């Protein structure tokens, strides 16, 4: 049979989970990471990252809105997916998806954004005209008290929501890792480290993503990039990346040293089909290179312009590396036979339901959502100040 090397169980030849399932953990990782970055300012009072606080929240929301789409498109019967809410199976990790998603979306992210923007929403509902006025009016949810006492209460509740949000973000992405890590039939996935690795890689991708978005949007707005902010983000990215890489290496070393029955098969896979995506793209290009690049900025005093360039390159490589990590987990985990005697190949369609074009569209879609969110809820202080002044 074409594309098969050695022996596969006959039902294993076709891959069950496609590039869309690669996108799902990639997107939720960005969500969780962006939220953690936002919480740095809110909970841990890292004032330097304040310019990215609101952008991080809106980024998290934009990506979270898209997160269920790849799953939905992948299902054989998407119309039956509400059954996961109505009749969840208590022993299934996947059955938690709907609840974790809704909790994170409604109880954490939307609530926090609303509390944080409430003052502006009220002011904009008074100063805007036409359809926008109606939209803002609805968004106030009838709460137009923006007295100092009321705003202080918002701040207090917002802080508590963020505090709850941190373990929720961990839950959201740790749970995605658990979906893979708990499959004992698949040695490439089965690892108690999987949820932890997923959480740290999520933080890495989310922080890198928001850092890049902040720099790109500030440049597009012809504003000055707050270098202190970017330096601080890069520092956090550096340390979290080191933890993430250490965990992944621990997993790898453990597998090599233990060399269980699956080792020969997996080792062969990593040296053949997965050599480019795993060794070259994920580890060398997408992990070690950005760690070294940002590491240089941590130990050598470089001019501002050089630092910005390094952060841009390192940020892009980080996203490539984390995407490759998701790819290697999801696709890599299906390329070998559970008999450990053979290998298959993944052929991605171009225009099919789970093909490349759909995947590209789903990657761009959150950015369109983000654009719309930024238009409705400008995260820039000067804009909201203008709105406040206009209203006054």
Partner 1 sequence: MNLSRRHILVLLPAAAVAWKSVLAGTPEESPNYKMSDHWWGMLIDIPKCIGCGNCVRACRTENDVPEGFYRTWVERYHVSDEDMTNPEVISPKGGEEGFPVAEADDKKYFFVPKMCNHCADSPCTQVCPVGATFVSPDGVVLVDQKYCLGCAYCVQACPYGCRYLHPQKKVADKCTLCYHRITKGLTTACCEACPTGARQLADLKDPKDPIHEFLKTHSVQVLKPQMATGAKAFYNGLDGSVR
Using CB under 8 A as the criterion, which residues of the chain lie in contact with partner 1 when the complex forms? 7-12, 14, 16-17, 71, 74-78, 80-81, 83-84, 87-89, 91-95, 97, 179, 182-186, 261, 334, 337-341
Q: Which is nearer to partner 1, 6 or 295 (CB)?
A: 6
Question: Taking Cα atoms as reference points, which of 2, 1, 7 lies closest to residue 337?
Answer: 7
Distance of closest approach, residue 177 Cβ to partner 1, in angstroms: 15
- Least distance in angstroms from the C-beta of 339 to partner 1: 4
Closest separation between CB of residue 95 and partner 1, Å?
Answer: 4
Are residues 62 and 210 in contact, defined by beta-carbon separation less than 8 angstroms?
Answer: no
Task: Give whichever of 91 and 147 is closer to partner 1, judged by the CB atom.
Answer: 91
Q: How far is the CB of 325 from partner 1 (least distance, A)?
A: 18
Instruction: Report the residue number, 70 or 315, with the smaller CB distance to partner 1.
Output: 70
Question: Nearer to partner 1 by C-beta: 96 or 203?
Answer: 96
d(CA 106, CA 101): 8
The count of other CB atoms within 10 Å of the CB of residue 162 is 25
Nearer to partner 1, 111 or 341 (CB): 341
CB nearer to partner 1: give 187 or 379. 187
The packing angle between helices 304-330 and 194-220, to 10°, is 140
The nearer residue to partner 1, 89 or 386, going by C-beta atoms, is 89
| Closer residue to partner 1 in complex, CB, 338/383 | 338
Residue 96 CA to residue 176 CA, distance in Å, equals 10
In the complex, the smallest distance separating the C-beta of residue 83 from partner 1, rounded to whole angstroms, is: 5
Which tokens in the block code for residue 184? Answer: 């004992």
HSE-up of residue 380 (Cα within 13 Å, Cβ side): 15
**Whole-number minimum distance, CB 22 to partner 1, in Å?**
14
Least distance (Å) between residue 97 CB and partner 1: 7
Closest CA to 34 of 55, 4, 20: 55
């Amino acid at each position: 049979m074409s594309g098969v090397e050695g022996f596969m169980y006959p039902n294993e030849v076709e891959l069950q989970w496609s590039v869309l399932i690669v996108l799902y953990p990639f997107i939720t990782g960005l969500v969780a990471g962006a939220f953690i970055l936002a919480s740095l300012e809110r909970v841990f009072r890292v004032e330097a990252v304040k310019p990215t606080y609101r952008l991080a929240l809106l980024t998290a929301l934009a990506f979270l809105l898209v997160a269920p789409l790849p799953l939905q498109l992948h299902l054989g019967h998407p119309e039956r997916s509400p059954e996961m809410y109505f009749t969840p199976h208590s022993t299934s990790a996947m059955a938690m998806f709907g609840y974790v998603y809704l909790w994170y979306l409604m109880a954490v992210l939307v609530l926090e954004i609303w509390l944080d923007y409430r003052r502006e929403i009220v002011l904009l509902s008074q100063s805007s005209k036409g359809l926008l006025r109606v939209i803002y009016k609805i968004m106030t949810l009838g709460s137009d008290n923006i007295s100092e006492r009321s705003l202080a209460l918002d701040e207090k509740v917002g802080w508590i929501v963020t505090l709850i949000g941190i373990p929720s973000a961990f839950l959201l992405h740790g749970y995605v890792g658990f979906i893979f890590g708990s499959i004992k039939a698949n040695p490439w996935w089965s690892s108690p480290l999987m949820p932890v690795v997923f959480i740290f890689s999520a933080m890495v991708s989310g922080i890198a993503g928001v850092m890049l978005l902040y720099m790109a949007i500030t440049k597009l707005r012809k504003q000055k990039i707050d270098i202190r902010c970017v330096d601080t983000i890069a520092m956090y990215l550096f340390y979290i990346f080191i933890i993430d890489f250490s965990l992944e290496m621990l997993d790898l070393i453990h597998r090599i040293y233990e060399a269980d029955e699956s080792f020969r098969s997996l080792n062969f896979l990593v040296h053949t089909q997965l050599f480019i995506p795993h060794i070259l793209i994920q580890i060398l290009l997408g992990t070690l290179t950005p760690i070294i690049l940002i590491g240089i900025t941590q130990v050598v005093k470089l001019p501002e312009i050089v630092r910005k360039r390094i952060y841009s390159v390192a940020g892009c490589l980080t996203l490539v590396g984390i995407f490759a990590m998701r790819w290697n987990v999801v696709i890599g985990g299906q390329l070998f036979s559970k008999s450990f005697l053979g290998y298959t190949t993944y052929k991605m369609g171009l225009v099919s339901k789970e093909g490349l074009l759909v995947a590209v569209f789903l990657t761009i879609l959150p950015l369109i959502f983000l654009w719309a969110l930024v238009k409705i809820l400008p995260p820039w202080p000067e804009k909201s100040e203008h709105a406040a002044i206009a209203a006054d």
